[in-house]
Structure 1
């Protein structure tokens, strides 16, 4: 029995290095594939979606995520939002020429105190003159050089009680142009244009190419819904769940890398446009110590 045991031990010693090597190789490959599979959902493990859609899965692979909020989100715990990995927030400020979101200033300063870069947005009311809406935004949104660029939210509002109608394309474009210029004069930063699929197709295709776009597409990747439109921000779900907000919240992502995000925050300008727009006075200077190449 001792001799048989010795032979078995010897045989085990001869086979085990090869077997173990193969096992480790297969295990390493499997673990690598598994890590790739879980990467999109593990970047922000505290965030989720009440109604996830496979068509926007690629948004989860991008490194910079944020939210947009209004009074409908109730009281926001901004510290919890930041802890969950929120890198930016767009906050509703004004609508038309006489409405201020009731939680705007609370959210505005709450986000800043939590260290979350934030920008204010104005929801356009098509039955009010553009210059009146611009004046209302300027009256109610503080001038903060550290804020993100402001946002002009342009979409049809068919559910409005007072103004559900659409306006002609030429009129809409003229109104948008007035408000963009006035918002830039007030904040010192070129505004971002937020829009949805229908409004973009009917009004914005081919227009305002020197402005960053924030687009809504919750069932497909942006290029499948927007004709020839490069985007800077993408709203990919309206049913997101994030610590710090009770119930649904819009989730958004930035197009680029962490370095490109630093460039955007620092210059108030899409990094892809910096070289072209900086001589026009649109973009701020970049700190070469803080930012690397535009492609990184």
Structure 2
């Protein structure tokens, strides 16, 4: 339903005056093009360390996107979109007190370029799910995007402060609490990103009502995650995309362009 122009202006001003600091920061990131637009179907990106794929290749899928953090540096978002980037997941938070310093710049750039985007949280096993969910909510605007956000759960053997590896039941319970809290706040259940070893060692794939984003850089997910249902597949961590300096993770959506239009909404 469309409001008259003056009512729209009034509504924006009211929204800007309410909500958390994260909610108020979203007012300057209005999209300039439809959020579910697919710029290039079946894009073919270069790779800094290309893999010789057997079986079904990533290029068989029409909708491709990226996930980024501060390590990608400054991104030319319109150029990346023109090259075929149809969505982006942007690192926002880690643990209960770390905020990615490039989060604001990345999300604003993606919004201005009209790239559907969401935020992701990197889970820290030495803090509670509740504390981490509250930290994410404090930093990610409720109206940031139409896409669901992401919980990134994987073992972090390089962490200087936390080497804990909880058992599978504990991991699944923590994930469920985090996802439930974000679903209540944002209105859509987050996607869960994970890796092969984490999947095998924790049974995270048994989590109900959850869509999965799976990392598999040497084979199709049907080979590395037998029987798993997935929504996103991260097929490289060394991709090369115009507008992005250095290597970047590239992903595909599991379905057709039409399925993407529906899912993104």
Counterpart Cα distance in 2 of 1:113 and 1:102? 19
**Residue equivalent to 1:71:** 70
Counterpart Cα distance in 1 of 2:145 and 2:121? 18
**Residue equivalent to 1:168:** 167
**Residue equivalent to 1:261:** 260
Structure 2 residue runs without a partner (length 5+): 1-40
> Are 1:141 and 2:140 matched, yes or no?
yes
- Deviation at residue 205 of structure 1 after TM alignment: 5.0
> Are 1:154 and 2:153 matched, yes or no?
yes
**Residue equivalent to 2:250:** 251
Q: Does the CA contact (< 8 Å) of 1:196 and 1:216 recur in 2?
A: yes
Matching residue within 46, 52, 59 for 1:48 = 46
Q: 1:245 to 1:203 in 2, by over 3 A?
A: same
Higher relative contact order (CA 8 A, sep 6+): 2
Counterpart Cα distance in 1 of 2:91 and 2:238? 17
- Deviation at residue 215 of structure 1 after TM alignment: 0.3
Give the aligned CA root-mean-square deviation in angstroms. 1.5
Structure 1 residue runs without a partner (length 5+): 1-41, 267-296
Q: Does the CA contact (< 8 Å) of 1:205 and 1:227 recur in 2?
A: no
User: What SS does the aligned partner of 1:134 have?
Assistant: helix
User: What SS does the aligned partner of 1:87 have?
Assistant: strand
**Residue equivalent to 2:86:** 87
Counterpart Cα distance in 2 of 1:132 and 1:238? 29
**Residue equivalent to 1:11:** none
Q: Does the CA contact (< 8 Å) of 2:214 and 2:230 recur in 1?
A: yes
**Residue equivalent to 1:187:** 186
- Deviation at residue 182 of structure 1 after TM alignment: 0.8
Q: Does the CA contact (< 8 Å) of 2:43 and 2:62 recur in 1?
A: no
Report which of the two has the higher share of helix: 1
Counterpart Cα distance in 2 of 1:203 and 1:148? 26
> Are 1:120 and 2:119 matched, yes or no?
yes
Q: Does the CA contact (< 8 Å) of 1:145 and 1:187 recur in 2?
A: no
Q: Does the CA contact (< 8 Å) of 1:97 and 1:133 recur in 2?
A: yes
Asked which structure has the greater CA Rg, the reply is 1
Moved over 6 A (4+): none
Q: 1:147 to 1:206 in 2, by over 3 A?
A: closer
Once the two structures are superposed, residues 202-238 of structure 1 have per-residue CA deviations (whole angstroms, 9 ceiling, x without a partner) of: 1135512421110000001101111321011000000
**Residue equivalent to 1:33:** none
- Deviation at residue 147 of structure 1 after TM alignment: 2.8
**Residue equivalent to 2:19:** none
In the alignment of these two chains, the number of paired residues is: 224
Q: Does the CA contact (< 8 Å) of 1:214 and 1:233 recur in 2?
A: yes
Once the two structures are superposed, residues 258-278 of structure 1 have per-residue CA deviations (whole angstroms, 9 ceiling, x without a partner) of: 000001011xxxxxxxxxxxx
Counterpart Cα distance in 2 of 1:126 and 1:43? 37
**Residue equivalent to 1:16:** none
- Deviation at residue 240 of structure 1 after TM alignment: 0.2
Once the two structures are superposed, residues 75-95 of structure 1 have per-residue CA deviations (whole angstroms, 9 ceiling, x without a partner) of: 111111111111000000000
- Deviation at residue 145 of structure 1 after TM alignment: 6.3
User: What SS does the aligned partner of 1:190 have?
Assistant: coil
- Deviation at residue 48 of structure 1 after TM alignment: 0.9
